Amino acid sequence: MINLSGQSVQDARLFGYVEQQIHQFGIDPGMICFEISESVAISNFVHAKRVMNALHSLGCHLVLDDFGSGFSSLSYLRELPLSYLKIDGNFVHNLVSSPVDAAMVKAVHEVGQVMNLLTIAELVEDGETLVRLRQIGVDFAQGYYCGRPIPLVQLRDRLESERTLEVKAA
């Protein structure tokens, strides 16, 4: 997943650059998922929608990040070519202790289900929260409880090391 800043989304060169990189490096666009925050998407909706449709036409996936932080945008949700909804961490963080936050998480997940979108809960910090998210039916979790972020090169090195071990074991 790649976060796109508001500045990136507004850059007229973004789509051409992404398209060129995909072709130059033979990347399967279905392996790329761009995250655009809800606030960026609605601040210049027409332009953001154009960029999102263009990236979607390449075969990339799209996430509306921090969804729920601005519920006024629910009407826009129908018009965006999304694959995922990422539930704002402010609701997830207090999911276990706050019935209101639990209801918000459940509501966002249910909207996602009706629209055939997968849901991602961010800011998952403990096992109890993860259990509650599973009970609600949220598809994915993101946060320190699930794993700390690491540089891409470290991830690549770890995966290469694991593949080497698999080959030796076989």
Q: How far apart are CA 149 and CA 56, in angstroms?
A: 26
Q: Is 79 a catalytic residue?
A: no
Catalytic residue among 19, 79, 122, 160: 122
DSSP letter, residue 5: -
Residues in contact with 81: Cβ distance below 8 Å, sequence separation at least 6, in sequence order: 52, 53, 56, 62
Identify residue 49 by its one-letter amino acid code.
K
Catalytic residue annotation: 122
